[in-house]
Each structure stands twice: as structure tokens, then as C-alpha cells.
Amino acid sequence: MTVRHFLQFSDFSREEIEYLFVRAHWIKQRFKRYEPYRPLTDRTLAMVFEKHSTRTRVSFEAGMMQLGGNAINLATRDTQLGRGEPIEDVARVITRMVDIVMIRTFEQSIIDRFAENSRVPVINGLTDEYHPCQILGDIFTYVEHRGSIGGRTVAWVGDSNNVCNTWLQAAELLDFRLHVASPEGYEIEAARAQCAGVHLQRFTDPNDAVRGADLVTTDVWTSMGFESETEERKHDFADFQVDAEMMALARPDALFMHCLPAHRGEEVTSEVIDGPHSVVWDEAENRLHAQKALLEYLLIGRVNPA
């Protein structure tokens, strides 16, 4: 049987993603009622971190334990990966010992190579190109607050980065519109834009992207791995801050999301991220519930709701 992985959002069908939202809701409600649900007893998750993390680390580790399993945290510098052991060999070894792996790394090709040599499911915990678990949690949050995202408009303001690329895959899969406004030189890659067709509309003025949107979202100007460009980016992104004036152009009931960590005063003002449209804390919490549904699905498949 082929092993299923979650390396990109588009690895799953629309129907599978919608199933995960239903399961995430069920798992979340049960957790809130303090009712134990431990289908993953004796299962082990290995988490490989080649970049920093707070949310991804805590949500995967806590989630795995709450489901009855265990998690092992592997930071590059503490393992032989940090001394140059080939990723293929690491994959072959780790996946004989654990049941599932989550990796946060640099190029997507690294996680692809790991998955090719893995006996168990591999989850992308962020690469330079994608952050599928983030968008799983984000859209679950949208659904909780506003219902289905199909046919809605999401406005992305800022860097066409890993999170933006994943929003784009989600727009195609779940059939909503993505408005993207990025500074010159930081636009979405032409090949990606071409594939997205009608689901993507690009803007030079962020105000135009946000006008009439159901959800406004942004991210740091400098992603992990691009720190040497920080000063240049501060200059290039200066007109791409989500402030109250910009937010007022969206629908009156629009939500604001940010994957976090945020830099108040750069990509977003405190007024917006700490204001009435913002659901960033629900969004962060929902990483836990959405990923528990994902772990359950990859390890034991579909279950009938109790």
C-alpha cells in the first residue's frame, strides 16, 4: 500500500480536507469537555526541526500526547543531520523506529527526498515553499467563525512566501478567490500564477486587494532563511502594512489572520492584530485541533464519528 504524506496542501483532495475539518471539530469539542480520546496509544511522532518554532512544536507534541502517543523532538544541531548525514539515510533510519514524521526545513526538495525514503507518513511543518498545516488550521478557523470558505475572497498582503503559496493551493482546491498584493520583486512566481487561473487576482495596491474581502491576512516581511535581506525588505514592504484604514476597506464582518509570529508596526499594526476583526489566537489554537485530525487520518485512516 502506498504511504500517504502531507507535503503540500494539494496532496489531499477537497473531500479529504473537508473531512479533516469535521474531525478537527469533533476532536476539539471532546478535548474541551476533558473527555480522553487516545486512538494513537503507543504511536510515536518524530519532529525534525531545521528552523525555529513555537506553535508547530507545541501543537504537534501536545497533540500527539493528547491522542495517547509520544513525540520526539530532533533539532538539526543535536543530530547527525547537523554533521552532514544525508537526508535519505536519516529518513530510512528514523522511519524504521517511529510511526509518523513531521519536518520543518528549507527547500521543499529536502522533504520530498525524505518522503521518498520513508516507510511512514511525512508531514510538512513548513518549508521555504509551503506551510500546509498552517492553512489547514486557518481555514478550519474561518469555517468555525463564518462557515464554508467556498466562493469567498481572501486578501493576502505582503510577501509571496510559503504561506501565500499554500493559500493559493487552497484557493484552487476549495474554490475561493485569493487576492494577492506584493511589492515589486516579491510577486508570486509566474508558473504558480498561471496554474491558479481564476482563483488568483494580483494587485499592485494592497488597498485594492483588500477591498470587499471576507478575510485579510499577512505574514512577516522576512521569513526564516532570508534574514540577510531584512533591512532591504523593511524598505521594500513599507507600503504593505495592514492598518485599520486598510482593514476598513474589507467587508464589515471580515476576519484578520496572521500565522504568527507577528511584528507589530511592520506588516500589521497593533490596532488590527489586537482589534475586533482579529482571530489570531483562535487561529493559533486551531493548529492543535486540525493537526490532531491530520495525525489521526494519516495513522489510522477514516473513523466514523462516535
Q: 89 with 114: CB under 8 angstroms?
A: no
Asked whether the beta carbons of 179 and 156 are under 8 A apart, the reply is yes
Quote the least distance from Cβ 285 to ligand CP, whole Å: 12
DSSP-assigned states of every residue in 8-45: SGGGS-HHHHHHHHHHHHHHHHHHHTT----TTTT-EE
Binding residues for ligand NVA (CB under 6 A): 126, 161-163, 219-220, 223-224, 259
Cell 510511526 locates to: 99
Of the two residues 220 and 293, which places its CB atom closer to ligand NVA in the complex?
A: 220
Which among ligand CP, ligand NVA, none contacts residue 295 (Cβ within 5 to 8 A by kind)? none
C-beta closer to ligand CP: residue 128 or 199 = 128
Cβ 54 to ligand NVA, closest distance in Å? Answer: 9
Residues forming contacts to ligand CP in the complex (CB under 6 A) are 53-56, 126, 134, 259-260
Select the binding partner of residue 163 from ligand NVA, ligand CP, none (C-beta < 5 to 8 A, by kind): ligand NVA
Q: Determine the distance from the C-alpha atom of residue 157 to the mean position of all C-alpha atoms in its chain, rounded to a whole number.
A: 16
Partner whose binding site includes residue 270, from ligand NVA, ligand CP, none (CB under 5 to 8 Å by kind): none
Q: In this structure, are residues 299 and 100 in contact, taking their beta carbons and an 8 Å threshold?
A: yes
Strand intervals (E) in the chain: 44-49, 70-75, 100-104, 122-124, 153-157, 177-181, 200-203, 215-218, 255-258
Class of residue 23 by CB neighbours under 10 A (exposed 0-12, middle 13-18, buried 19+)? buried
What are phi and psi for residue 188, nearest 5 degrees? -60, 140
Q: Provide the 3-class DSSP secondary structure of residue 148.
A: coil
Question: Minimum distance from CB of 45 to ligand CP (Å)?
Answer: 15
For residues 195 and 130, give the distance between their C-alpha atoms in angstroms, rounded to a whole number: 16
Residue 54 binding target from ligand NVA, ligand CP, none, CB below 5 to 8 Å by type: ligand CP
From ligand CP, ligand NVA, none, interface partner of 220 (C-beta below 5 to 8 A by class): ligand NVA
3-state secondary structure of 79: coil
Which is nearer to ligand CP, 199 or 280 (by Cβ)?
A: 280
Query: With contact defined as beta carbons under 8 Å apart, do 87 and 110 qualify?
Result: yes
Smallest gap from Cβ 238 to ligand CP, in A, equals: 24
Q: Which is nearer to ligand CP, 182 or 291 (CB)?
A: 291
Report, in Å, the least distance between residue 159 CB and ligand CP.
14
* CB nearer to ligand CP: pick between 258 and 277: 258
Residues that are catalytic: 104, 131, 134, 219, 259, 287
Asked if 259 and 131 count as a contact pair (C-beta separation under 8 A), the reply is: yes
Provide the minimum distance between the beta carbon of 35 and ligand NVA in the complex, in angstroms, as a whole number. Answer: 31
Nearer to ligand CP, 199 or 292 (CB): 292
